[in-house]
Amino acid sequence: MTDQWSWSERKTFFWQVILLITFYVFIFGIVIWILRLIWLSWQLKDVFSASIGISILAMALFLFLLGVYNYVFWGILINRKRKG
């Protein structure tokens, strides 16, 4: 960030970082919640295989979405630096 950004660019960057942090908290909250449900089903001797199957798919999907969001965020940031 050697060049000077205008006020609107700084404000946009700030909100992008806030959204990225919010998305991280949301995704990791979901992953922790799913892991807690797996542990709870194991403790209650519930159908453990169904919990594992659904959870693996859900966690993979949310982590994939986190990766896509990161890719887009850093792509926008790098392309902005090249432009200016």
- Residue 17 inside a domain? The answer is no
Residue 84 near residue 3 (C-beta atoms within 8 A)? yes
| Average confidence score pLDDT of the chain | 85
The number of folded domains in the chain is 1
Q: Do 34 and 2 form a contact (C-beta atoms < 8 A)?
A: no
Q: What is the largest CA-CA distance in the chain?
A: 60
- Residue 2's pLDDT band, with cuts at 50, 70 and 90, is low
Per DSSP, the residues of 31-44 read HHHHHHHHHHHHHT
Q: What is the domain range of residue 66?
A: 26-83
User: Is 9 domain-assigned?
Assistant: no
Residue 82 pLDDT > 90, yes or no?
no
Query: 66 pLDDT exceeds 70?
Result: yes
**pLDDT for 1 beyond 60:** no
User: For residue 80, is pLDDT > 80?
Assistant: no
Summarised one tens digit per residue, pLDDT across range 19-52 is 889 999 999 999 899 889 888 888 988 887 877 8
Query: Is there a domain that residue 53 lies in?
Result: yes
For residue 65, give both structure tokens. 């979405």
7 part of a folded domain: no
